[in-house]
Amino acid sequence: MSYIDAHVHVWTDDLQSYPLASNFTVNDMQPPTFKPEELLAHCRTSGVDRIVLIQMSFYGFNNAYMLEVMRQHPGVFSGVAIVDATGESPQEAMARLAEEGVRGFRIHPSGATPEMWLEGDGYQKMFAAGASQNLAMCPLIDPEYLPAVGRMCERYPDTPVVIDHLARIGCAPIRQEDIDALCALARHPRAMVKVSAFYALGEKRPPHFDLIPLIRSVRDAFGADRIMWASDCPYQVQDESYEDSIALVRSGLDFLSPEEKDQILRGTAEEFFFS
C-alpha cells in the first residue's frame, strides 16, 4: 500500500538561485537544507511515495524552488503556494501557479485579529478564485481564527478549505471549546482537515496516543473522506522519527476501519491534490 504525505516543506542552500525573503536569514534555515532526496529517504521507508509540498516561508511569495522540485519529480509532488493577499490581483497569481500544478494556497493571519482577518478585498478575490478553479485555501491558524474561516465558508461555499495541523489544537492545552469550533466547520461540505504535526501537539511525544480523542472527534464530524494525514517534515524528524507520525494513524487509531485508514493516509489527498 502506498501513502501520501499531505504537508511537507523543502528548501535548499542554493541562495543564489533561490534567494531568501528580506525578513529571513540563513540562521533561520534549520536544518540548513531539506531537499527532496533528504525527504524521500524518510518517506519511502514508511510506504509514502507522493507528497504535497507547502511553500516554505523562507522564500516569501517566490514559489520558484517548490515549483522546480515539482517539475523535477513529475507525479511525485503536488504543491501549496503562497501569494500576496494584499496585492491588487492575487487571483491572477493563483491562476498562473495553478497552471504549474499548484492546487492550494497557504493563508495566515500574520498579526491580524480574529475579527478582521480575511475581511480584506484580496482574500475575497482569493476565495472567489478558489471556488471557480477548485483551488484550496489552506489556513495555518490557531483555534481562535476558526470562526473567521467559517464566515468565509458561508460566503464562498464552493471554495475548498484545508485546515492545517488540526488548527493547532494542542499547541496549548487541548480545550473542548476549540475542538467544538473546529468540528463546527464540518457543516461546510468543502472543508477538510489535516491531522498532522503530532510532534507539536498535546504531550508532544510519541506514540501520541493522547491525541486520539481529538482525532476521533474530528473523524466523527468530518468523516474520513475529508481528513488527510501529514507529517510536517522536516520538523517531524528533528526529535522524532517519520514512522512515529504515520504509525499513529496506521496502527494507533483503533476506531478507524481499514478503509478509513486508507482514506486518511492516501485517498483524501489523492482525490484533491493529485486528481
Question: Over the stretch 203-251, which tens digit does the pLDDT of each residue have?
Answer: 999 999 999 999 999 999 999 999 999 999 999 999 999 999 999 999 9
pLDDT score, position 88:
87
Count of domains for the chain? 1
pLDDT band at 1 (very low <50, low <70, confident <90, very high): low
244-268, pLDDT tens digit by residue?
A: 999 999 999 999 999 999 999 999 9
Calpha distance 140→194 (Å, rounded): 11
Listed in sequence order, the residues at least 6 apart from 20 whose beta carbon sits closer than 8 Å to its beta carbon are 26, 28, 29, 58, 59
Give the Cα separation of 1 and 3 in Å (integer): 7
Domain of residue 89, CATH code: 3.20.20.140
Would you give the distance in Å from CA 132 to the centre of its chain?
Answer: 21
**Does the structure show a pLDDT above 70 at 179?**
yes
How high is the mean pLDDT of the chain? 97
Q: Which cell numbers hold the place of 161?
A: 478549505
**SS3 for 222?**
helix
Instruction: Tell me the average pLDDT across 140-155.
Output: 98
Residue type, 244: D
pLDDT tops 70 at residue 91: yes
Range of the domain at 152: 3-273
Hey, how many other C-beta atoms are within 10 angstroms of the C-beta on 189? 11
How far is it, in rounded angstroms, from Cα 6 to Cα 225?
14
Q: What is the pLDDT of residues 47-84, one digit of tens each?
A: 999 999 999 999 999 999 999 999 999 999 999 999 99
Residue pair 81/102 in contact (Cβ under 8 Å)? The answer is yes
Angle at 103 between CA 102 and CA 108, to 5 degrees: 95
Ranges assigned E (strand) in 16-131: 48-54, 77-81, 102-107
The verdict on pTM exceeding 0.95 is yes
